[in-house]
Structure 1
């Protein structure tokens, strides 16, 4: 396995519309990185440039010390030693599971049934499936076979292009766990393209957030969620409560009272600001004197937890995340307390998250 280093990568297509503009990315050897962003942000284009399916306008791609794109050279995709798992698995329908897995191996190794069985176990499948055809497998099994095929030649890097997008919720989670475990067990260096925040946060060692063809934040999942680089990233990687505030004397004065806060990377220490809270930080109770109060607008029940929509006196609607028991009823008043600290950003208007991300 090798590290991946991307420097200054740019790419434009028809009418010279820029898709990527100077992307820098480093993926350490043996680590798992998720490229996170909505459709059209450039993440799949970046993956295809790394794989060698497209050529960049400028910039370099290196696997370890080996430059495969840029610096006056371009190594063909088939010689880069990269495993690729597409969205639908891309299995050959006329080959068995064993035939698919061993397809890219030298002829001598194709007859090695022990290697196929080893790879099937690695991705959490019974080796008895080796003689089945792809149409006899579930969608999740097909994706695991596709991963086994990508891992078979021991590539320097494995690329996964939204491999779980076509699976239903339960199968998606099961397959995601199995794929993550297999990549970890193999020691593979991997890059996953996804627009699913939960997928990125739960699987990756680091998450690269792309917006408008630029990499706007690269960090570990916990830091990304707790200390996003800006409010647009904050609202994209999870539900957010964003409030206007006045920072004074170490406290943020806002619609939820006086809250302790920390400045964001480009935050402020005093004066006008916008503060970020996560819905799970809000706690609800029966109305109490002098406590911030809101009216329950509606409750979304999910079983394991619930989202409670609250209308504040100033007309702002926010949400709280609670467990599934003892939920308030729509139309009732509740008091709100906040657990932990807020994150303070400059007061300038944040771009509309849906448009920017």
Structure 2
């Protein structure tokens, strides 16, 4: 296993900038997720690390070895990096064993025991070794692709949205198997994804890219609870964003007077709450009133869509066992503190609640 260090990496295609001054460090043996919307540069960064393309500026270092930089470009096949593409990329004319063995050094390709141990590592029965890729489920194909990538014991494993084509239940099962296999192999891994839940649940650290720049690098809990700005906040999870006025260290908003996560000067701000911080009570109770406009039931929990008298819509996330009905009037309470941002913070994609007087 090896660390990965990307320094001031910039890449353009023609006149279109794709990455601008990206700095990223992935510690040895850790799992990092590259998270961002389509077109933000995630896959381009992965390709530069893999050696499929060269940066216009900056350096890529794998385990203390410079593999890309001014006057230096180590071929992809010599970087000792494993790569798992989006669709698995298995060879249809080879068996499972043939696909896995393809990743091994030539002298080890006839070692059936090594192939069996690699299949076991990714949670597959060795009895599948003689099947063709088309005889496997999508999740099994992705695990075979990972086994092939791990076969030569690479210093770094790159995964390019490997679960995006799987259905929800299979995606959860497969990504857990992949995470377990990477941990068992002691591999350093980088995952490209646009799935926030995937990034937060799998990674030791998450790098958020926006417009070709790395805007925040943090562990999942810090990223979710202390996003750098409102754009990051609204991208990494559901959110309720309110206009508010800070007086004596507390925010006065349409959802009441809120405690703040950090000190903030008096004046107009925007504050962030997560839907799971909201609690609903009977309409006769104390607190702001809202009407239930919809309930999205997921079994273990539910999203309750609400509307204030001002017309602003937002959602609360509640346990699934005791829910209001559509049309009910409820009171809204807030658990915990809100996170403040400057009053002129970006408003894209979030509702607005007028500040209370």
Shorter chain as normaliser: what TM range?
Answer: over 0.9
CA distance in 2, matches of 1:343, 1:313: 24
Deviation at 1:293, TM superposition (A): 1.1
The alignment's TM-score, normalised by the length of structure 1, stands at 0.96
In structure 1, the residue matched to 2:188 is 189
CA distance in 1, matches of 2:256, 2:105: 68
CA distance in 1, matches of 2:328, 2:209: 41
CA distance in 1, matches of 2:346, 2:87: 37
Give per-residue Cα distances to partners, 1:215-271, cap 9 Å, x unaligned. 0000000011011010010000000000001111221100011111123xxx83321
Runs of 4 or more above 4 Å deviation: none
In structure 2, the residue matched to 1:164 is 163
In structure 2, the residue matched to 1:301 is 297
In structure 2, the residue matched to 1:279 is 275
Task: Tell me, yes or no, if the aligned pair for 2:10 and 2:20 is still in contact at 8 Å.
Answer: yes
Q: Secondary structure at the match of 1:102?
A: helix
Pick closer, same or farther for the CA change 1:289–1:145 going to 2, 3 Å: closer
Q: In structure 1, list runs of 5 or more residues that go unmatched.
A: none
In structure 2, the residue matched to 1:120 is 119
CA distance in 2, matches of 1:137, 1:80: 30
Deviation at 1:314, TM superposition (A): 2.2
Alignment of 1:1-357 (within 5 A): 1-14=1-14, 16-263=15-262, 268-353=264-349
Task: Tell me, yes or no, if the aligned pair for 2:230 and 2:345 is still in contact at 8 Å.
Answer: no
CA distance in 2, matches of 1:4, 1:71: 18
Q: In structure 2, list runs of 5 or more residues that go unmatched.
A: 351-357
Task: Tell me, yes or no, if the aligned pair for 1:268 and 1:346 is still in contact at 8 Å.
Answer: no
CA distance in 1, matches of 2:62, 2:110: 30
Task: Tell me, yes or no, if the aligned pair for 2:67 and 2:73 is still in contact at 8 Å.
Answer: yes
Pick closer, same or farther for the CA change 1:131–1:281 going to 2, 3 Å: same
Give per-residue Cα distances to partners, 1:168-196, cap 9 Å, x unaligned. 11111110100000001111000000000
CA distance in 1, matches of 2:103, 2:260: 55
Task: Tell me, yes or no, if the aligned pair for 1:236 and 1:353 is still in contact at 8 Å.
Answer: no
Deviation at 1:104, TM superposition (A): 2.7
CA distance in 2, matches of 1:311, 1:353: 17
Deviation at 1:316, TM superposition (A): 1.2
CA distance in 2, matches of 1:165, 1:72: 36
The alignment's TM-score, normalised by the length of structure 2, stands at 0.96
CA distance in 2, matches of 1:285, 1:63: 55
Q: Report the number of matched residues.
A: 350
In structure 1, the residue matched to 2:355 is none
